[in-house]
Structure 1
Amino acid sequence: MTIASERYPAGARGFWLGMAAYLVPTFPIAFVWHLVLFEQNYQALHIYRADPIIPLGLASMLIQATVFSWVFPRVFALHRGTILRNGLLYGLGAGLLSWSFTTLAVAAKHPMASIPDFVVLETAFTAVQFLIVGPLIALAHRS
């Protein structure tokens, strides 16, 4: 019988590495995606500020990193799958949750030029983000 601390230690090391596994790729991916690669697409949607407040975005990511890192060893404590498998499954679940409040809820509440264009852009962003961070969080919490 495998106990949680043997497979995915819930200790400080795994927690901090899990936070880094979320933050280190997420900030540059989000910055480049929203403010470089698809900046014109987002401007055409007329949804975002002309001058985004980067520290607020980073603060949001810090909260997300804390929660996603804390949750992983509690969800996958007894799973015996590989780090990649567990990471992709976790990325799917966490990404779906994130997508529900960063894409669906935003599309429901904010005026924008094209809801379908926004949903496509944000869905693709969320998929890329969690395909990367899911396995990295699993790796950070490995035993």
Structure 2
Amino acid sequence: MVITRATEYSIRAMLHLAAKYPASVVSKHEICKAEDITPAFLAKILQPLIKEGLVVSRRGVAGGFALAKSPERISLLDVMHAVDEPLSLNLCLTADQQCDRMNLCPVHILWQDVRGYIEKRFGGKTLADLIREKNEIQKARACS
């Protein structure tokens, strides 16, 4: 299993938007600069986030991007599913593959359990949670 660059950058962009929520619309330039993402790649990863209703875009001079709902209502799994295929630890777990040994193979059950655990962890962690954790880390660093 590999978390793709698209997923990683999408999470970074979403965290940037979450940190500004609900006060402002954030320009593409600001996100690119703050998160070290090229404009072309940012445009590519924002499209599915907009399509899935996680981000809204505004045109014009004061245009840019904002979260479509509060950071408390967007999980990391929501972001991951919007940008990439579902998590798959093994080919036998992909939607388009039917494992011939799934009823006989004890490892198949393990793959399912691990995938379930990972999805539960990512699904249970919101953008708001990560913003709080980031603030705590920065606060602890400032004190030391």
TM-score by length of 1: 0.33
Q: Relative contact order: is structure 1 or structure 2 higher (C-alpha 8 Å, sep ≥ 6)?
A: 1
Higher strand share: 2
TM-score by length of 2: 0.33
